[in-house]
Structure 1
Amino acid sequence: MQICLILINDPKCVVSKVLKGLIFALQGHQDAFYVADLGDIKQKHWRFMKELPRVKPFYAVKCNSTNEVLQMLATLGTGFDCASMGEIDMVLRMGVPAADIVYANPCKQVSHIKYAAAHGVCKMTFDCEAELFKIAAFHPKAEMILRIATDDRDAWCALSSKYGALVEQCEDLLKTAKNLNIQVIGVSFHTGSGCKNTHSFCKAIEDARKVFEIGKKLGYQMRLLDIGGGFSGNSEFRPTFEEVRHVIRQSLNQYFPNNKEVEIISEPGRYYVESAFTVALNIITKKEVYEKGADGNSRRKFSYILNDGVYGTFLDFYLVKEKQKLKPLLELFPSNLWGPTCTNVDKLVNEFYLPELETGDWVIFPNMGAYSISMSTTFNGFPQPKVYFVLSKGDDKSAPKSGSCKIGLHRYFFLFNCTGLLINALTGVLGQDLKMPHLLSLMSIFEA
């Protein structure tokens, strides 16, 4: 396995130039592929620390568990939100301390609870009595966090229909925990992925304060607040991260005034990786049909079969309530975009107006880092797209003055590995044997 890391100074041009370079260099290899900019993740982390300085991020592993992403975030000093034994094991194997893991699944399999106990993972969530009885039996030293329900009706993915206790149920749950000698250390909530109503955060933080007071009256030392995640990593999404953090900071200052008694954490996933990943798909078949419109005249219509789809990268794209806004610039025709599998469910875009494309053309989808790789399958034998990692240097002036996230770029050369296919392809373009120093000066390949 060769190190394949391209360092480019201007983060604004990284993905487009690398995409062009790869499409040129990999002629004859029309498989779908990702370009992932680890520098974008690094910049997102510094932005998070700047905008929410009181909040420690615990990255949601389920969102994108690519090894390179996890290693980057571990190096930056984030914690990790894990939902299963498999995710906990993945993070522990990277050397992450058990104290930097929150087992944020309110309903856990007994064998997974035993694994967490054996490996010192103590922080975990619950929202019902049944979970407390399991914890008392199999992990009595656990530090439990009570998950409360929120108003997440305006979110893409509403979670409170499945998880979270109502505020009026919390006192009974805390009393049950007390009778079982279970330690409860705080409260968590999640307003849903892609939450559009910032007031949901206000109400959730207010409710968390109420539960804190109930816990204190029962003798608990309530010292942790988990404000969940769901923040978008797409700059075009509204409300923006800045708008959301403004509401969060105001509510935290009102209900949890700045002090050292309460640790505040969050579970961002989509925020970190969404914009870092771009996927390139190849058109493998073009179909042209004529159909009569409402005016009786025939119109041209196209169906394009792509080499990835709903059963691969685009399951989240299919499930969310709002699709990405594509921006065609040429003469437009009604078009359908299909994935490669044999089912009629595998449709990415229906009746969308696109310029006329040809078999062999590439269709680029940005903002594909969240719930794409982690949810993809190999149904019908179609492989998952390869990932080519690049690292944009960005503006290091935005880095915090202190903290574990301040790291040197040279460390990445020892952390991130991926397939040698790119090196082999670029060797053919340059006509020379590529070694590591050459990877630092590949801009000429990616010039338009």
Structure 2
Amino acid sequence: MRPRNTRKSEITILEEGFTARDFMEEIITGDCQIDKDAFLVADLGDVVKKLLRFLKTLPRVKPFYAIKCNNCRPIVKLLAELDLIVPARQKLHWSRNLELNLTISFMQTPVNVPYQVCSQMMTFDNEVELFKISQNHPNAKMILRLLADDTNATIRLNVKFGAPLTICRHLLETAKKLNVDVIGVSFHVGSGCSDPKTYAQSIGDARLVFEMASELGQKMTLLDIGGGFPGTDDSKITFEEVADTINDALDLSFPEISGVNIIAEPGRYYVASSFSLAANIIAKKVLSPPELCGEENGRKKNMVYYINDGIYGSFSCSFFEKTLVKPIIYKKPSPEQPIYNSSLWGPTCDGLDKIAEHLHIPELNVGDWLLFNNVGAYSMVTASEFNGFQLPKIHFVMPHQTCVFLLSENVQCC
């Protein structure tokens, strides 16, 4: 049941019956953790499971991974080998560094890159972009980015991008006058969407834009439904709920007979649940009753814990996501232990480095481990070494059965 390293690989293959959690516990209890540094374990098998789930549940939609969500090399290499890399202009260097044959397209606006590195496909949502493209890249295949309702998303994107439905006809007319080829429509309902009906509304709006283009003699062939899919089991909605809504909307507005190609750009869906963090308590403070604000809080002491990772590291998404951090205590406390109101802080000198508060947990000690699940999306990709603290090491693992499956599909990822 012991893990073994693959030859010339960043990935550790887990033997039958050995899980990513087992691997994490082995590191915690091993001799190599004398300094008790924080570390991450990334389960590539979880990523593959998510892919197979997507293909089964949304059979008409081809998913392309959004690298901006998590650009760790083994993740990108795996999905690139599976031909599921999505396009982002800031990631052009991946095709050189990874020696991969990536298909690059620019699925956001505005675009301002040299002609010689331009993709054929780019998005636009305003006249200025159309004029710029007509002058600098007249052979581009343009995709009109439609404004979507993202009020129920964790991170809203349409405050920055997207054309309202009311101006789409004008934009299509302008594109025709400039002889710019518009081949499709895209939209994004926001990262971490919690309302499946938003997809249905956006797909219906996209159908109207297709009809506008048809009336102008322009034939569109591509619909990009973006991302926003839930990436964890504790999300407000399930992936299956979202998929059912999308499938019904596509059957209504874009039936297979239409010949329109449907693609998507999942990011957090693939990687959110694949990463887990182990961090150590490096300091502790007890707030006794005299220090507490308000007599009502004076009955019990409050606990303050500092761990060796924080919002400048694996919790960097805390800057733009309001998510509830739920630590798992590695050493299970006994039921008789009293519960205290506790807060959790990172290691830096910044007063903003607060990970969680109002945690009702037993008293912990310096040296104890805390585990955190679902930290794969928009975490390490936005992390820094602020205050001189190094980022946690990432251990990439893959279950043996996943490796066998990939090899049977001729995927050379490990």
1:15 to 17, 20, 28: 20
Call closer, same or farther: CA 1:97–1:277 in 2, change over 3 Å. same
Call closer, same or farther: CA 1:178–1:92 in 2, change over 3 Å. farther
Call closer, same or farther: CA 1:349–1:278 in 2, change over 3 Å. same
Query: Counterparts of 1:54 and 1:296 in 2: how far apart (Å)?
Result: 56
Cα offsets for 1:335-383 (capped at 9, x unmatched): 1111111111110001211221111111111111100111111111111
- 1:36 alignment partner in structure 2: 42
Structure 1 residue 152 displacement after superposition? 1.0
Call closer, same or farther: CA 1:89–1:295 in 2, change over 3 Å. closer
Query: Counterparts of 1:412 and 1:45 in 2: how far apart (Å)?
Result: 15
Is 1:282 aligned to residue 284 of structure 2?
Answer: no
Query: Counterparts of 1:345 and 1:156 in 2: how far apart (Å)?
Result: 20
Farther off after superposition, 27-36 or 182-191? 27-36
1:383 to 373, 378, 390: 390
Is 1:87 aligned to residue 88 of structure 2?
Answer: no
Cα offsets for 1:40-69 (capped at 9, x unmatched): 111111111111111111111100011110
Query: Counterparts of 2:297 and 2:171 in 1: how far apart (Å)?
Result: 65
Contact 1:77 1:405 in 2 (8 A): no
Query: Counterparts of 1:262 and 1:396 in 2: how far apart (Å)?
Result: 34
Specify the SS of the correspondent of 2:398: strand
Query: Counterparts of 2:122 and 2:46 in 1: how far apart (Å)?
Result: 30
Moved over 6 A (4+): none
- Give the TM-score of the pair, scaled to structure 1: 0.83
Structure 1 residue 119 displacement after superposition? 3.7
Structure 1 residue 10 displacement after superposition? 5.6
Is 1:367 aligned to residue 374 of structure 2?
Answer: yes
Query: Counterparts of 1:96 and 1:379 in 2: how far apart (Å)?
Result: 32
Contact 1:81 1:104 in 2 (8 A): yes
Task: Kindly report which structure 2 residues correspond to 1:209-358, keeping only aligned pairs within 5 A, or say none.
Answer: 209-259=207-257, 261-291=259-289, 294-295=295-296, 297-326=298-327, 330=333, 331=337, 332-358=339-365
1:104 to 107, 111, 123: 107
Farther off after superposition, 255-264 or 33-42? 255-264
Is 1:198 aligned to residue 204 of structure 2?
Answer: no
Contact 2:39 2:392 in 1 (8 A): yes
Query: Counterparts of 1:302 and 1:2 in 2: how far apart (Å)?
Result: 45
Query: Counterparts of 1:296 and 1:171 in 2: how far apart (Å)?
Result: 61
Cα offsets for 1:126-158 (capped at 9, x unmatched): 111111122122221111110011111111111
Call closer, same or farther: CA 1:188–1:28 in 2, change over 3 Å. same
Structure 2, unpaired ranges of 5+: 1-6
Farther off after superposition, 43-52 or 248-257? 43-52
Specify the SS of the correspondent of 2:170: helix
Query: Counterparts of 2:240 and 2:234 in 1: how far apart (Å)?
Result: 12
The structure, 1 or 2, with the larger RCO (C-alpha pairs under 8 Å, 6+ apart) is: 1
Query: Counterparts of 1:340 and 1:408 in 2: how far apart (Å)?
Result: 44
Call closer, same or farther: CA 1:58–1:412 in 2, change over 3 Å. closer
- 2:409 alignment partner in structure 1: 407
Specify the SS of the correspondent of 2:105: strand
Structure 1 residue 233 displacement after superposition? 1.3
Cα offsets for 1:204-261 (capped at 9, x unmatched): 0000000011112222220000000011210111210011000000000000001362
Structure 1 residue 318 displacement after superposition? 4.3
Contact 1:282 1:306 in 2 (8 A): yes
- 2:29 alignment partner in structure 1: 24
Specify the SS of the correspondent of 1:170: helix
Call closer, same or farther: CA 1:147–1:258 in 2, change over 3 Å. same
Contact 2:110 2:124 in 1 (8 A): yes
Specify the SS of the correspondent of 2:142: strand
Specify the SS of the correspondent of 1:69: helix
* RMSD, matched Cα: 2.3
Specify the SS of the correspondent of 2:262: strand
2:72 to 62, 66, 87: 66
- AA aligned to 1:188 is S
Structure 1 residue 327 displacement after superposition? 5.9
Is 1:76 aligned to residue 78 of structure 2?
Answer: no
- AA aligned to 2:55 is M
Specify the SS of the correspondent of 1:309: coil
- 2:4 alignment partner in structure 1: none
Structure 1, unpaired ranges of 5+: 414-448
User: Percent of aligned positions with the same letter in both sequences?
Assistant: 40
- 1:433 alignment partner in structure 2: none
Contact 1:40 1:392 in 2 (8 A): no
Query: Counterparts of 1:16 and 1:341 in 2: how far apart (Å)?
Result: 28
Contact 2:76 2:85 in 1 (8 A): no
Specify the SS of the correspondent of 1:313: coil
Cα offsets for 1:177-205 (capped at 9, x unmatched): 11221111000000111111111011000
